[in-house]
Structure 1
Amino acid sequence: MAKRKVSNMLALAVLSLLNERPMHPYEIAATMKQRGIPDVIKLNNGSLYSVVDSLLKQAWIVPLETQREGKHPERTIYAPTDAGVAEFHDWIRELIYAPVKEYPQLPVALSFIGHISPKETAALLEQRITFVQKDIVQRRAGNDFAVSQGLARIFIIEQEFIVNQLESELAWLRSFIREIKDGSLTKLTDGEQVWIDTTPRDDEDSDA
């Protein structure tokens, strides 16, 4: 995958919204929040204006006009150039077809989970289940509300994808907890539940 001149995902979101219609940064931020985009792309005003500057330098957007409403500061409305539209389409196609190595935190924790007891692990995972369930409920409610307000599903389809991922995580967490509790992954040693350790010992290696 070729390195892009601008690779910040916030830039992709800005290009996407400007492809719909010309906007000023304040409207871009408000629209992103309305559609739940900050759930998948980190947003703050400073980074948004930095991205706008980067897109201007690449000539992917241009200022159309500057407006002033009452006592509000001037707001510059931007639109994409033909090059910006082409870059946006090329970028989004690449993101769809070409998987990128990502580093989510839960698998990192799971890779070292043998260092805490099975009992504590199960308790921690049950706490996580509570958070995941709450997240699913909130996202579904948010999706339903957005659609009820007239927003087309296609503009929040990433939220459905996230809910699907969370549901898959929920199912796996429950299955893992069952295996911890039913002894599939644990054994009793001196009355205490411990992990079944299948790692070869040094003395076993030396006998080989």
Structure 2
Amino acid sequence: MHPYEMYQLLVARAEDRLVKIRPGSLYHAVVRLADRGLLAEVGRDREGNRPERTTYSLTEAGRTALVDWVETRLSVPTNEYPEFPVAVAQMHNLPEGEVVQVLDRRLVALRAELDFHGELIAAHTAIELHEPYWLDTRYQHAMLAAQIHWIEQLLDDLRSGRLVWQDPQHQVDHAETGRHDISDIAHEGASA
């Protein structure tokens, strides 16, 4: 398979929603993998006036590296440092009304994304695509649903008054009132 064909396949499978993919970067990544012996050049061809295309296949070393990578990512939890939890940790810096407004906007976007993944699941099911090929879609659907549920609960707590919000201008600096004790606990838990 040549790099542009790989790119087209990734887009057709909607895997460009998992990783940012650009044809040029993919081409350079393929060359680096070939240089490391993880891919092997199996042929070159040219159609008309188009540039020559190099076709690659996975080597045995490449297959081993792939299996090792997948097994590690599936078995070892890692913090991927997504931006949303950082924003949640800092949203106390916004007035309550603004928090509600921006989270409402996020919900609209998340629900659209959830609908898209629901449509993908329905399409995969309709064509009887072997389920292991689209488990990532089910996972993303579940994660989106969980985030939507969490935000809906938070908004309900804010709107009902169960969660009391302080105006950012009247907040106490918690750096001296024990917040650092929480980080000590978090670091102890991470090293256990």
TM-score between both structures, scaled by the size of structure 1: 0.76
Distance 1:138 1:126 in 2: 19
Question: For residue 66 of structure 1, what is the aligned residue in structure 2?
Answer: 44
1:81 matched to 2:64? The reply is no
Q: Alpha carbons of 1:61 and 1:197: their partners in 2 closer, same or farther (altered >3 Å)?
A: same
Question: For residue 128 of structure 1, what is the aligned residue in structure 2?
Answer: 106
Measured after TM superposition, the shift of residue 152 of structure 1 is 2.6
Question: For residue 91 of structure 2, what is the aligned residue in structure 1?
Answer: 113
Distance 1:109 1:141 in 2: 29
Distance 1:201 1:104 in 2: 24
Aligned pairs (5 A) from 1:28-107: 28-107=6-85
CA contact (8 A) 1:186 1:194 kept: no
Distance 2:129 2:12 in 1: 9
Aligned residue-pair number = 177
CA RMSD of aligned residues (A): 2.4
Instruction: Point out the structure with the larger helix share.
Output: 2
1:165 matched to 2:143? The reply is yes
User: Matched residue of 1:46: which SS?
Assistant: helix
Distance 1:92 1:201 in 2: 40
- Listed as ranges, the gaps of 5+ residues in structure 1 are 1-22, 188-192
Distance 2:56 2:130 in 1: 24
Equivalent in 156, 166, 173 of residue 178 of structure 1: 156
Measured after TM superposition, the shift of residue 71 of structure 1 is 3.0
Q: Alpha carbons of 1:47 and 1:139: their partners in 2 closer, same or farther (altered >3 Å)?
A: same
CA contact (8 A) 1:36 1:156 kept: no
User: Matched residue of 1:112: which SS?
Assistant: helix
| Deviation >3 Å, runs of 4+ | 146-151, 193-202
Query: Percent of pairs identical after alignment?
Result: 24
User: Matched residue of 1:151: which SS?
Assistant: coil
- Listed as ranges, the gaps of 5+ residues in structure 2 are 179-192
